[in-house]
Structure 1
Amino acid sequence: MKPRVGQSLASTVDSTTVIVIRWPDEDLAVTCGGIEMVLKGAAGEPKRTPDPSQMDGTQLGKRYADDVIGIELLCTKAGQGTLAVGGVALPLKDARALPASD
């Protein structure tokens, strides 16, 4: 799947939804709970059984990114599933330090 920047993806195993902030040119399979995410509003997607090893959860308002792959997702609705690409969990993006104001 190759979503466009600004599109929403939804999990088929829990309540997790994300917005695509950055996406590389290639097709990638983003998973949540070990099951591939779908475009939000995709009809007919049944709830699926998640992979128990992929259930560390997501946090509302946090960005998940991998600079090597070139992907960044913003969590708009938290859930129990882990966001991953190629079976590797996407790490939380670190906040940038603000400049000191001495």
Structure 2
Amino acid sequence: MDLKPGSRWKSAVCDAQMVVVRPPKAAGELQCGGAPVVPIDDTAPPTGVIAPEFAEGVLIGKRYLDEDSGLEVLGAKAGKGSLAFNGTAMKIKGAKPLPASD
């Protein structure tokens, strides 16, 4: 799986779509709903079952981060499965705090 910046992927088990913002430091597998993601141009419809431990969902416009690998992904279309990298759940990246203006 070649996770290059700007590459687009979709879930194999739900409607979620995502764009890679920052690639991982080492090779690995991006997953959604417990199943590996597929390239956006794959014409197969989503099939299968979402794993219960990966059923929190993907939100559109949110960035997801795997701190260990540095992988950052942007949710391009919402879905019921949640993101993971090599089986480890990815977390929503928090906003940067703004500097104080006194």
Q: TM-score, normalised by structure 2?
A: 0.90
CA RMSD of aligned residues (A): 1.5
Q: 2:65: which partner in 1? A: 65
Q: How many residues align?
A: 102
Q: Please tell me whether the aligned partners of residues 63 and 92 of structure 1 are also in contact (alpha carbons under 8 angstroms).
A: yes
In 1, the alpha carbon distance for the partners of 2:32 and 2:6 equals 18
In 2, the alpha carbon distance for the partners of 1:47 and 1:69 equals 28
Instruction: Point out where structure 2 has 5 or more consecutive residues left out of the alignment.
Output: none
Q: 1:94: which partner in 2? A: 94
Offset, 1:46? 5.2
In 2, the alpha carbon distance for the partners of 1:43 and 1:27 equals 25
Instruction: Point out where structure 1 has 5 or more consecutive residues left out of the alignment.
Output: none
Matched, 1:3 2:3: yes
Identity over the aligned pairs, expressed in percent? Answer: 36
Question: What does 1:4-83 correspond to in 2, within 5 Å?
Answer: 4-44=4-44, 47-83=47-83
Task: State the SS of the aligned residue for 2:27.
Answer: coil
In 1, the alpha carbon distance for the partners of 2:25 and 2:74 equals 19
Runs of 4+ in 1 over 3 A off after TM superposition: 43-46
Q: TM-score, normalised by structure 1?
A: 0.90
Residue identity opposite 1:36 in structure 2: P
